Structure 1
């Protein structure tokens, strides 16, 4: 982090406007600290963590003391920031009012963050953390890439933050962007008497809101800027490929692939979270490395570009298994025979669902929507990336009620070949070869693999799955507190609860 820990001249330009030019009218011999006040700090910690707390953990965020949270389980804002600006080192140090309580009875944790601080010289965010009746002061939560405007700064979670949030996987993970801005009505007057005209050089005129403009509008989880680790979000909206094809306007699909991660937080919960389980792909399906998204292959079905309709089914299956107790699993869910139906930019994602031995065919798991103006093909291939998928009521039941109806799942991507000689994005022809190349536990290149447990991780290269290999970072390990740890150790209680959910 040393490369970005000290940005003195860049910050000087931003704070100069907030304090007035007189703040820099000091000689090196008379450098002094000027007071700062009326600042706000806006940070969401991490979007996937917020989704975990209010989703799978059925928990709550409760801001108080002036802190607020944006609508839609959005980011947090801490107010009444005050501190100092050092005209010698150009360091900004601020402390903020307000606290944030994070709690889940289901997963047995409760913690409070308070006395949040930002230090540009140390390039970090700290907070006092209260948990189990114990207060730890000035816990470093994130390293910050400090910028001139102090808005939308990149953050990276620390080892200490991983402990606080309950998952070692958070260490080094990208956090939500951080903004530190001054409220528009406030003015600052430096306490040091200006002497001389030593003006810092090499600084550009600031263009961000750190100059005293309105504070940034908090971004909700539904509209937050996509993480740079999410390749599926690189384009502004899902787009169909450009027109131009030798295939007829309607006909049968020759081949194709479907890329979908189901839900990133669910994959993490199964492998690294409380379930302590494994994910296994089979039947031609593959999984990207690092507990990534899945690719289903060998598409069949029909298309009609004039009517903007597509109906496709895909080969392969994925099994999620966890909460083992005495050889029995409380979670044993298999999705197979995935299908996509699209009509005019909207549609459904279906699958056969087997949960704890009970099978339901053609369950509508998600409602799909795209922003495309019609299905078009290029080189006899129709490609759609970043299709929005929202959980249906039937889908919520399939996941045992862990996610509510309407929850956003991982985006869907697909490529279908309209002719036998059309090449899918990975370079394979429409011969049913699929777009992924898995690696089984023997490393022989078979199309099955296992993530978690004692197995290895299947891999996927190219194709749609390559664009959807990661849809977010880690979520906490489910059992964040002692109560949840005891539940997991007991095992049987989890199995009974899961089976009761399924029976219901």
Structure 2
């Protein structure tokens, strides 16, 4: 091929490759998953057994887990990765459920099972649900703690996980107990048992920008060791109380009987299984704490339900805490009612922060009056968590991150076997970062056709020229 023609074709091909490279590069790296929820009832018949007349037990929620629907638990704050090119997906969620049943005369429980930190991993056409499990064997009573047990296999039903967009949503994935899960389940079910289906949604972020690893001409000046911040006590810089009131009360409010709702105002925030009352002000000194917080939650519904709790305050003395609130209802209108007491322990600052995490709480006598006699004094209420910042750089714990509201898949891509498409990833017609793959492919095809046409024209011109004599030097187009 003549040299000039080779140069021209090389330039055209380079342009084609340059047009194609962004598509390949966009698919070449995983994107972070941040924020989302997983809804799963474990096994509905197991819940009924635990709370029924045989086991006579109960369950409690930990680390921000919530209930949703008739029998599902909601886990929150997804973190992980998603590769749109291969469909590989992994997301870990926060929250746990603690089941107790078959109470013995000594006060212990034969059935004692905690399932927490569910993680879903998907590769190709297979998926697995992993769990942290703490269980008591029903025969020997031995307690076993296991981390990230491959608890259940998930059926994708032929769903193609490849795609793009800003979220992944999977609905009603069939789940089957694995052999490892059966052992961790304390022997209550055998491997192969069908569990409740799993639904999840997770927000997918844009890839993190690449860091420039080239050496800098001038090294950055060292900031030196940070000076320790004094946290002996004094005025509170910021603070928040997290409290869900009582799980069964929330379920009553939104259930068929009350058919009601709750509304937040004055800065209160909804964390799924709890309400956050922010803007803490007050003082901390030598393990004692007095603080006031912002926000109001109002519960309304049928049968005269109208209860507001606001201007929350906490007082901690000698390791014992009390949570107060202003109460407004048809029968009560009173300020600073001591609603619940909780065990705070020895409050000591760490990293500029003083915290109480999920302290068990009990209803007071005046709290029982505030609830109109619905619960008796001493009833266990939702645990209390509080955090106050003593320094400007201390950060309060984040609220549970449920991610964006899941939406149905716009274009699920099942295989050709007619598999169920009820569990489909949210797909996007654009590539991972919005790059238009189809127009680029068309442009690349046009460039290839142009290159082929140039080659054909050049060859025709070459054939039309007279043959050079044997002694003539090669021309510039013939080298």
Q: TM-score range by the shorter chain?
A: 0.3 to 0.5
Q: Whose strand fraction is larger, Structure 1's or Structure 2's?
A: 2
**TM-score, normalising length from structure 1?**
0.38
**TM-score, normalising length from structure 2?**
0.39
For the pair shown, which has the larger CA radius of gyration, 1 or 2? Answer: 2
